[in-house]
Chain A
């Protein structure tokens, strides 16, 4: 989540070099803040503290505790003791938990590029269309995003279950087993693409709209066709939007939860440790071990943070080198 807060502020500043002068003037003034500043910051700080800092602190604190059992068969009144990093070592020793990271990484490596290429293609196509049609199509591509993930998964679930699915009905024995061990990850990827491609498209479209018309005119005068305009002007200029959507998608991938949870009922191929998030949820609420779950959640947050910051620094380093 930390990465999401940072990325929008980073990306525009990369493009607008003229802002440097005004920031230094601001810096001089803000060296001696007056009280009024706090009134403006206050609401944000309060929310940030209660919705962000406190829960994270509490999770870290919980992850350092463990339940101690007493009495015959351990059924006596349990107590809470300090565990240090025991929960972390226990979590990392669980093969299922480590495997779940491998699974979402594989998922992300395939699903994120597919979705973004699709979103970019749709956005470029919409940009070419006349305004009236573009509005209608934009709305319909965006529509799946308005459907909650749980509903979307139930809906797709019906299309996957053999015996009910119209797809298997039509294809007969040629139909793949959508919920089988080898396929279920990609069936989930399909749902996620369906849900979010339109949303990402919208962000790219917004960036496309902000490209000055003069650039197109200049390109036209230089003899560029629609293909060259797209490749040489549009795609390079929507780069910030692509970076942003990619970071969103990386975080979303790590947090994969609702889709596997719903599909779990339909197929044994989705286990309770299918994704890191599902694994932590299962420990917290089904196994009643919130301390281990907290440790897993912290590990997940660290990995998600490292991945999204890693991606951002990779992209910005390239940018710097290009300049």
Chain B
């Protein structure tokens, strides 16, 4: 009998564990960042989660900085698993010391108190070395919460040979884009001007951004959602027309099928971000020399509005024991000239550091783009990005609504213009579900 009593006692103790845990229950990060004391000569080990192949730059750092070792761990990109991993590690109290976080996801991690306030560790003195608007992507309440790493100013990648063969003019406005699309469909024998990517809300957002829409604003302590605006409707209507007339492929971008279309010339152009260069180069080697880059087509003739697709920061998740060393590494990674060259090679995007194009690998002529100094286009584009654009702290959820709507439209059900109102309503519901103050514009 004593045995039985013992078993019951242990059972009761185990059953009570969740109740005890309740006392310590908290939202967001289970552990807060605290600098661990460090003796002279003590070696520090940092763990860095990213999906950009930064191995070479990290190897260079480890060679030149023997006292701080960085262990690079490649995770799935963004919402394909990387963020899920960061969220669970925050909750579990075992985050990495550094993590790649896209600009549009920073507010979301702020909302769960997931990022270390880097201003506390003296990061502000580095501000002058970064592009202003990229720096401000990580600033909340005047404090920096993520080191800017790279952005994705947009340009227009196109197949020079196909455009020439079809006698189509390289478009400088979206109207001309449509005209070229009609020509290419008629004359290219199976090629279309490009694809509509129903899987990329970021890509669709970029065009609204370029048109002057502002999806999210803040007024005092209230978030204001304005997706169903005049500017967004114009963009939606434009793509509706292209889809209706079957002038573009409706195909998720950056997938195997999409790369196949780029390889075979089924897709003659791509309005895409600067970091797309490495993807084209790596996935369509057979088309070397046939691609060129020019400015993103404009909504009004003579304008020079640009947009940004993607871009990331190097953040220090809440719970790190080495924020000072992490900042030291992140700063080196994103500003050191040798590091930037290695990063550019790995295709990480447009640098967040102020750089001189001529001094960097970015300024060299490129054989894949027929010897063009194509990054000059992106440098100009970077300067023309409207930097007042803001992201919602519910971006992951909200993007899903856009993707669902775009997918349905791409499959021939309804129009994007009709979908915008529905998306706006769902955006607002997402805010409410998070317990935030929100209203429609």
Contacts and interface: CB of A to CB of B under 8 A. Distances in A.
B434 A49 contact: no
B299 to A, nearest CB: 25
Nearest to B221: A72
Given A73-B221, A74-B111, A271 B407 contact: yes
A268 to B, nearest CB: 3
Contacts of B108: 288
A285 B88 contact: yes
Contacts of B84: 285-286
A38 interface: yes
Interface in B106-149: 107-108, 110-113, 140-141
Contact of A69 (B111, B140, B141): B111
Interface string A25-66: 000000000010011001001000110011001100100011
A266 B7 contact: no
Contacts of A269: 407, 411
Contacts of A61: 18, 22
Interface SS, B side: helix
Interface stretch (A1-9, A161-169, A240-248): A161-169
B436 A69 contact: yes
B91 A80 contact: no
A287 interface: yes
Given A38-B7, A65-B25, A286-B84, A268 B410 contact: yes
B255 interface: yes
Contacts of B411: 180-181, 268-269
B79 A286 contact: yes
B111 A75 contact: yes
Interface string A277-308: 00000100111111010000000000000000
Nearest to A270: B407
Interface string B405-438: 0111011010000000000000000000111110
Interface in A75-90: 75, 77-80, 90
Interface string B378-404: 000000000000000110110010011
B26 A79 contact: yes
Contacts of B252: 265-268
Given A75-B140, A80-B26, A180-B411, A57 B15 contact: yes
A275 interface: no
Nearest to B254: A265
B413 A78 contact: no
Given A181-B411, A268-B410, A78 B15 contact: no
A80 B435 CA distance: 12
A200 interface: no
Interface residues of B, number: 64
Interface in B1-55: 1-4, 7, 11, 14-15, 17-18, 21-22, 25-28
Nearest to B28: A78
B199 A268 contact: yes
Interface SS, A side: mixed
A154 B436 CA distance: 39
Nearest to B263: A163
A272 interface: yes
A68 interface: yes
A51 to B, nearest CB: 12
Interface residues of A, number: 49
B64 interface: no
B403 A271 contact: yes
B14 A287 contact: no
Nearest to A290: B91
A138 B128 CA distance: 69
Interface in B354-379: none
A183 to B, nearest CB: 11
B393 A75 contact: yes
A78 B437 contact: no
A164 B21 CA distance: 51
A67 interface: yes
B393 A74 contact: yes
A77 B113 contact: yes
A38 B4 contact: yes
B141 to A, nearest CB: 7
Given A72-B220, A74-B437, A79-B27, A288 B112 contact: yes
B440 interface: no
B4 A35 contact: yes
Nearest to A162: B257
Contacts of B88: 285
A273 B252 CA distance: 18
B11 A73 contact: no
A49 B16 CA distance: 12
Contacts of A266: 252, 255-257
B260 interface: yes
B261 interface: yes
B407 A67 contact: no
Contact of B434 (A74, A181, A286): A74
Given A69-B434, A73-B223, A268-B199, A78 B407 contact: no
A161 B257 CA distance: 6
A288 B112 CA distance: 8
B87 interface: yes
B103 interface: no
Given A77-B28, A78-B113, A266-B255, 5 more contacts: A54-B15, A69-B435, A75-B110, A269-B411, A288-B87
* Chain A to chain B: the 5 pairs with minimum beta-carbon distance, closest first: A268-B407, A285-B84, A78-B27, A268-B198, A74-B436
19 contacts: A35-B4, A38-B7, A49-B15, A57-B15, A61-B18, A69-B435, A73-B221, A74-B111, A74-B435, A79-B26, A164-B256, A266-B252, A268-B403, A268-B404, A268-B408, A271-B404, A286-B84, A289-B433, A292-B433
